[in-house]
Amino acid sequence: MRYSYEFKRKCVEMYRQGILPDTPDGVSKKIFRDTVRKWVRIEDAQGPEALKHKSQNKVWSVEEKYELVSQVLAGNSIKSVSFNAGISDGNLYQWIRKYKIYGYNGLIDKKKGRKSKNPAMKTINYNNSRKLEESEYEELIRLRAENEYIKSEIEVIKKEIALREEKEAALLKAKKQRSSKNSAKKDIN
């Protein structure tokens, strides 16, 4: 259920006065009381503006994520760090799990969605690209040519291996046929 900012503020004020607000229909009493306590902690940590609905989620940088993860790893509780930062404890837990598995690189946001089947359709963001210096441009051309050469070498090696395997399979087949003919001759004699 989504509550208005005014309703949240009213519930927090009533809670601070020692009065439990009336539970809305369709919500269990325990869950609603836990939610009100959560609102009180959020307001204590960040002020009353934190209870307002945000039109857009905050995009966290890798350094900010690392700072929060390091606070938890230093001994602070996940709940207290998440309340102070204004994020859900589940989100912080995911960052900690990724940090433990992948290290600092686990905190970097990855592209979402399925990978393109056609790599030629990938778009290049020309707005963020900077101009290359002449030496960098020459090195880029040299590296691309070297990359193509290595790819073609790999293809040649793969074809050689396939031909060698094909030849060996043909020799093995011929050997089996000869041995079966020889065994058939022995049976006749």
Rounded CA-CA distance 67/85 in Å is 10
Q: Minimum mean pLDDT among 47-56, 100-109, 157-166: which range? A: 47-56
Rounded CA-CA distance 105/78 in Å is 21
pLDDT-based confidence at 51, cuts 50/70/90?
confident
Give me the pLDDT at residue 109, please.
81
Query: Which tokens belong to 78?
Result: 């996940």
- Is the pLDDT confidence value at 123 over 70? no
Q: What is the pTM of this model?
A: 0.49
Q: What are the residues whose beta carbons fall under 8 Å from the beta carbon of 98, sequence distance 6 or more?
A: 106, 107
Kindly give the interhelix angle for 89-102 and 78-85, rounded to the nearest 10 degrees: 110
- Is the pLDDT confidence value at 28 over 80? yes
**Which pLDDT tens digit goes with each residue over 175-188?**
888 888 777 766 66
- Is the pLDDT confidence value at 128 over 60? no
Query: Which tokens belong to 175?
Result: 């050997």
